[in-house]
Structure 1
Amino acid sequence: MNVLLIEDDNIEIMKLERTISKMAAKHHIISSKNGEEALAFLRSAEDLPDIILLDLNMPRMNGIEFLSVLKSDNVLRFLPTIILTTSENRSDLHKCFELGIAGYIIKPLKYEDYESKLNKVLDYWSINELVKA
């Protein structure tokens, strides 16, 4: 599966790459540092990612702003987008669901818990018919 990770923290990018390297299924990670960079990539990509993992708290264009633009695009709006954030703010959660996200995951503090959550998310989307379509 091709996964677009939109995340400005290099440690979080390395954490995801480490988690994926341990999985039996070898997913391909493409990373963008912010929403603007991600939109430029998506608009020029020959092959779109299967899913997007999106952080909310980023410079230049935050996750909610990115999501608003993504979901208003006639092609890109169909990409399953999962929020991967530290924000437990209920208004962020509600706004993201209003915009049409596929999931909202809180990043746990312990690496083992992070790894467990990400394995479940990627396993689920690997078999989901939406990705295959």
Structure 2
Amino acid sequence: MVSDVEHGDELVTILLVEPSPGDTRLFTESFKDAKLTNQLYTVSDADDALDFINQRGEYATDPKPDLILLEPNVPGTNGTDVITELNDEPALADIPVVILTSSAAGEDIIKSHGIDADHYVQKPVEPEDYIGFVQEIEGFWMAIIQEDPVGN
């Protein structure tokens, strides 16, 4: 059974940075199918991701994400630049980042650029595998909460 992923008394706000409309749709549907009622926001490029994370422009009233799912090959500012900015800003450095790779070699490619994310996950190839993928993301979040039970 998959439970809601909660952070304290609030649901977790997840930002998905994914350029593929098809993958975005599969993520969104999989979160619903897995009965996760977290707040899932999606953007399709790194520039919008940085605006969302920093609550700028059209994203000024949206919540700061608790977890970021990042496809590093996004249009605009490079996905690795998003991680660099997060790491360089003390107010943002604590937001966990899960890098979504499209191949087993993806993690090595990202690490070769000197970028170290919190977790690397290979995106599913088949649509029916997305539920298990979403559950893996939930498991990652639960591990973070157990490491930091007071949310600091």
More deviation, 111-120/70-79: 111-120
Could you tell me how far apart the structure 2 residues matched to 1:40 and 1:93 are? 22
Residue 39 in 1 paired to residue 56 in 2?
no
How well do the aligned residues superpose, as a CA RMSD in angstroms?
Answer: 2.2
Secondary structure in 2 matching 1:75: coil
Secondary structure in 2 matching 1:101: coil
Residue 94 in 1 paired to residue 111 in 2?
yes
Partner in structure 2 of residue 54 of structure 1: 70
Could you tell me how far apart the structure 2 residues matched to 1:119 and 1:94 are? 24
Q: Which stretches of structure 1, 4 residues or longer, exceed 6 Å deviation after superposition? A: none
Of Structure 1 and Structure 2, the greater helix share is in 1
Query: How far apart are residue 90 of structure 1 and its match?
Result: 5.1
Contact 1:35–1:60 under 8 Å retained in 2: yes
Residue 15 in 1 paired to residue 26 in 2?
yes
Residue 78 in 1 paired to residue 94 in 2?
yes
The residue type equivalent to 1:122 in the other structure is E
Using the aligned pairs only, state the percent identity: 23
Could you tell me how far apart the structure 1 residues matched to 2:97 and 2:84 are? 12
The aligned length equals: 132
Structure 2: where are the runs of 5+ without partners?
1-11
Higher radius of gyration, 1 or 2 = 2
Structure 1: where are the runs of 5+ without partners?
none
Query: How far apart are residue 126 of structure 1 and its match?
Result: 4.1
Secondary structure in 2 matching 1:78: coil
Could you tell me how far apart the structure 1 residues matched to 2:77 and 2:129 are? 28
Contact 1:6–1:35 under 8 Å retained in 2: yes
Could you tell me how far apart the structure 2 residues matched to 1:67 and 1:127 are? 21
Residue 5 in 1 paired to residue 29 in 2?
no
Query: How far apart are residue 131 of structure 1 and its match?
Result: 8.1
Report the TM-score, using the length of structure 1 for normalisation: 0.85
Could you tell me how far apart the structure 1 residues matched to 2:107 and 2:70 are? 17
Query: How far apart are residue 55 of structure 1 and its match?
Result: 0.3
Q: Cα 1:65–1:21, aligned 2, differ >3 Å: closer, same or farther?
A: same
